[in-house]
Structure 1
């Protein structure tokens, strides 16, 4: 069955309005499925994709080349892989499958900081996406976001006033960014900004995209309270552009499984740290 091009689950490709029975729609749907398969398995021989999706080798290479050009996949010697380069780490499709249980645990804690009637900025991160799925219990709310994925998630929410930020659309994160987006943000004021980033380096948060940093900075400056949501793997990563020190946030939520020594050091520095509890089996899976 073809994906609905407006369905948030359709990921980074199916965002254009295309008739469901058109050749282009089928092509986009197939590329989406190929990307999901590669990112789920890590690497796949291109020849294997021909049988799996009923396509020629030439078509498989053409599909993969298009996704390689977008920075979603890597192709080498007949194998397509999802090596976590900076763009793959950023892609909405790739991020959505990573540390899902940790993100859900963090989101449950983050939801406790929301009061009915508030206006919220939500960024385009997949961690914040998990929070968006909990907002119905906190309604009425006003939600402001640049994420097309979140807009689709919340568009039918009861008692949720959804304000979608416009601007230039970026496929790799399924979100709007740029000067127009920042100008819209600057004209608004929100009670709380929920944000996640790519990495924590030297006790500061970083992202690999300068434009993402600028967009999130605009939300940061236009919110009364700022809450950072970061799973434990962010302490193991690196990114290029600095956003803010952890002490600049009103609350920093991490998941159980973050090293105890790290938690103690951050608390000693004055970081308002909250640890989201996880199921015992999930914590056990994180142990070396």
Structure 2
């Protein structure tokens, strides 16, 4: 009996992992010269320039005169490159919990958060479904998936989050009515969801208003962060899904305030 070989990471996976590592190295140091990055990661200077150009487009850092400099924390944390590698196990557990609210035949809205992307590998278990999203990454991942009808929202494309936003996007959302909306947030302050960018707030509010049931995914780190723009109170969501390591004080406070909190437990195999 032959044993299966481990999956070989694709070129895109390797590039994303390297870019995440580069961004973290620059953030830790404050700034690094391009030659230092090339030596540390054993890559060519040309490859460093390409990676830095993409990371700069996503708001993670700035490149000037041969030096990469970290951007502000708020903008960095809003970037999809930064977010995609964070709290992977917790996001998977929350996604599995959110799947309990997905039913065949539904129209569901997914926002541009990396937490909701963890639902994608599980959607085939609840088909047929209509998926509505403004996120190019989700559109690409679901393209051609059997049993999934996809509605892609247009608008102005924002490279830092790989999503379409703006007035056109909000107008398109307003013309739709979905059964379920699953979203995440950058920060939770005073039991209110906050985000760093007003464009994101406008789109998520429109999605919220267009759905019959709304589910928020919020891992424990969201309660320790702050952001500029208020978005939606936790009490307005039908369900707030948190990970098992969330401070009990936050859970008790939310429940005392009438928030329907669901604690996502990690599968035994993942512990």
TM-score (norm 2): 0.85
**C-alpha distance in 2 between matches for 1:67 and 1:196:** 22
Are 1:53 and 2:49 an aligned pair?
no
* Structure 1 residue matching 2:108: 3-state secondary structure: strand
State the Cα distance separating 1:244 from its structure 2 match. 1.1
- Aligned residue number for residue 39 of structure 1: 23
**C-alpha distance in 1 between matches for 2:270 and 2:148:** 32
**C-alpha distance in 2 between matches for 1:154 and 1:280:** 28
Determine which of 238, 241, 244 is the counterpart of 1:253: 241
Are 1:206 and 2:194 an aligned pair?
yes
- Aligned residue number for residue 132 of structure 2: 144
Say if 1:49 and 1:124 are closer, same or farther in 2 by CA, change over 3 A: same
Say if 1:105 and 1:33 are closer, same or farther in 2 by CA, change over 3 A: closer
**C-alpha distance in 2 between matches for 1:66 and 1:118:** 36
**C-alpha distance in 2 between matches for 1:61 and 1:157:** 35
Deviations 1:237-261 (A, max 9, x none): 0000001111000000000000112
Say if 1:84 and 1:101 are closer, same or farther in 2 by CA, change over 3 A: farther
> Is the CA contact (8 Å cut-off) linking 1:43 and 1:81 kept in structure 2?
no
Map 1:264-283 to 2 at 5 A. Answer: 264-278=252-266
Deviations 1:22-49 (A, max 9, x none): xxxxxxx7xx675233135554743233
**C-alpha distance in 2 between matches for 1:80 and 1:181:** 33
How much is the aligned-residue C-alpha RMSD, in angstroms? 3.0
State the Cα distance separating 1:50 from its structure 2 match. 2.8
**C-alpha distance in 1 between matches for 2:171 and 2:236:** 23
Map 1:115-264 to 2 at 5 A. Answer: 115-264=103-252
Q: What are the ranges of 5 or more consecutive residues in structure 1 without an aligned counterpart?
A: 11-28, 284-288
State the Cα distance separating 1:107 from its structure 2 match. 0.2
TM-score (norm 1): 0.80
Map 1:5-24 to 2 at 5 A. Answer: none
State the Cα distance separating 1:55 from its structure 2 match. 2.1
Task: Give the length in aligned residue pairs.
Answer: 257
Deviations 1:103-140 (A, max 9, x none): 00000000010110000011010000001221010100
> Is the CA contact (8 Å cut-off) linking 1:43 and 1:80 kept in structure 2?
no
**C-alpha distance in 2 between matches for 1:144 and 1:82:** 34
State the Cα distance separating 1:79 from its structure 2 match. 6.9
Greater CA drift, 47-56 or 93-102: 47-56
Q: What are the ranges of 5 or more consecutive residues in structure 2 without an aligned counterpart?
A: 1-9
* Structure 2 residue matching 1:126: 3-state secondary structure: coil
* Structure 2 residue matching 1:266: 3-state secondary structure: helix
Greater CA drift, 64-73 or 259-268: 64-73
Deviations 1:67-113 (A, max 9, x none): 44652125799874667611110111110001111000000000010
Say if 1:185 and 1:130 are closer, same or farther in 2 by CA, change over 3 A: same
* Structure 2 residue matching 1:226: 3-state secondary structure: strand
Are 1:89 and 2:77 an aligned pair?
yes
Say if 1:265 and 1:43 are closer, same or farther in 2 by CA, change over 3 A: closer
* Structure 2 residue matching 1:156: 3-state secondary structure: coil
